[in-house]
Chains A and B, each alone.
Chain A
């Protein structure tokens, strides 16, 4: 017989449930803000990576290689423990007075994920026939505006499946923010475990929430791309 007594009520009601709920809220905030920013930044870096201006292209390339090839945890620690030391004092004070843990986590998740998103979008752009750019330029659109109105909308549609996996990675990676004290879901599950010793229940609950969020994102993005963005059938 199993000696362990399951006690689901601990995590499904009362104070500890509230802790987990507040953790879910923070995880959602952290993920939503970071996904939005990472997507925008990814678009910009992707365009820079394809720029005809060499220094711009090199900068973007360096950015990609740097942030894709260093551990996310190190990046989170860098922004949290390292970055503010080189800022002027006024900025420093302001940062400490705001929610600096949350901000550091957003910055790290955004930058890290944007590097992957940029590469996915770039490969999407490269798969758009070059005649699309010619058609846009022929109408009088500048290079940047051609990208914005004609090329990127098509590239993003093609890039939806890899984008979904980047978004899911971001949600799961947001659990690393607990290491700098952001009270997100994993942090709260850990708290519940420390107070109750109900680790199985606490982390099962956390697992279920992450799984539900991931499935929800997949469904929503797929639905969005199929109904709002489409129909763009292959020519």
Chain B
């Protein structure tokens, strides 16, 4: 579904992605972690071209993103993206946040879109909040609506960019539960997160990235038990230590 081949990305002189090679298969859940500034957010943002790549090849759902003829809007409709800051549309209710794109892009009728939206809100446990505006929802609730909004497009891939980092600790669980449920339904997912519990329990593979390079990539059991790279050992010590 997603294939990085020798991808490079620069911000001016800064080399944010340095020869990234990664392959995410259909139905796989891949967690990306790394210290801040390592390039992990940039990595996930290249997949729906919020950040264009400078060199290499990136193929998403059979479309080559380095091809200037690729219809980026079409690709993005197939790729759900969940942001750290939720980014719900503040002028619309939860329901309308979810129905806008299906109606305007997929051409769904208002009724179809609303039925689907209510079903999705039920799935994320927020059916009773459909008429609430984002400002009336807690962070965790907003993020669950944002996930429902992304799912409403029936995406083939879901990308999560630190979905729980802006949340109060007691709200992290409710969002992770939704993501876990989604992973178990067979969705292809790529998740940038520091939630190592989620990585260990739900993911098929974990990648450790630093200085724009994937330093280690392994199944979760192996990743946490036998980290090979010195940087990863340090990193794990810090994020897993209860006293840090």
Interface residues of chain A, those whose CB is within 8 Å of chain B, are 129, 131-132, 134-142, 145, 149-150, 153-154, 157, 229, 231-235
Contacts and interface: CB of A to CB of B under 8 A. Distances in A.
B87 interface: yes
B16 to A, nearest CB: 17
Interface of B: 48, 50, 73-74, 76-77, 79-81, 83, 85, 87-91, 100-101, 104-105, 133-136, 149-150, 153
Contacts of A234: 135
B104 A142 contact: no
Contact of A154 (B48, B80, B90): B90
A140 B87 CA distance: 15
B105 A131 contact: no
Given A134-B50, A134-B83, A134-B87, A139 B134 contact: no
Contacts of A129: 87
Given A231-B133, A233-B133, A235-B135, A141 B101 contact: yes
A153 B91 contact: yes
Contacts of A136: 89
Given A149-B104, A231-B135, A233-B135, A132 B77 contact: no
Contacts of B76: 137-140
B105 A138 contact: no
Nearest to A135: B87
B168 to A, nearest CB: 15
Nearest to B79: A138
A108 B214 CA distance: 61
Nearest to A143: B73
Contact of B105 (A132, A139, A150, A232): A139
B interface, by DSSP: helix, strand, loop or mixed?
A: mixed
Contacts of A137: 50, 73, 76
A137 B80 CA distance: 11
Contacts of B88: 135
Contacts of B83: 131, 134-135
Nearest to B105: A140
Given A140-B105, A140-B153, A141-B104, 8 more contacts: A138-B79, A139-B150, A140-B76, A140-B77, A141-B105, A149-B104, A231-B133, A232-B90
A140 B101 contact: yes
A131 B135 contact: no
Contacts of B135: 231-235
Contact of A131 (B87, B133, B149): B87
A13 B188 CA distance: 78
Contact of B91 (A134, A140, A141, A232): A232
20 contacts: A131-B83, A132-B87, A132-B89, A135-B81, A135-B87, A138-B48, A138-B50, A139-B77, A139-B150, A140-B101, A149-B104, A153-B91, A154-B89, A157-B91, A231-B135, A232-B91, A232-B133, A233-B135, A233-B136, A235-B90
Nearest to A150: B89
B188 to A, nearest CB: 16
Contacts of B81: 135, 138
B23 to A, nearest CB: 23
Contacts of A235: 90, 134-135
A211 B148 CA distance: 50
B211 to A, nearest CB: 25
Contacts of A157: 91
Contacts of A153: 91
Contacts of A231: 133, 135
A212 to B, nearest CB: 32
Contacts of B50: 134, 137-138
Contacts of A139: 76-77, 100-101, 105, 149-150, 153
Contacts of B134: 235
B90 A140 contact: no
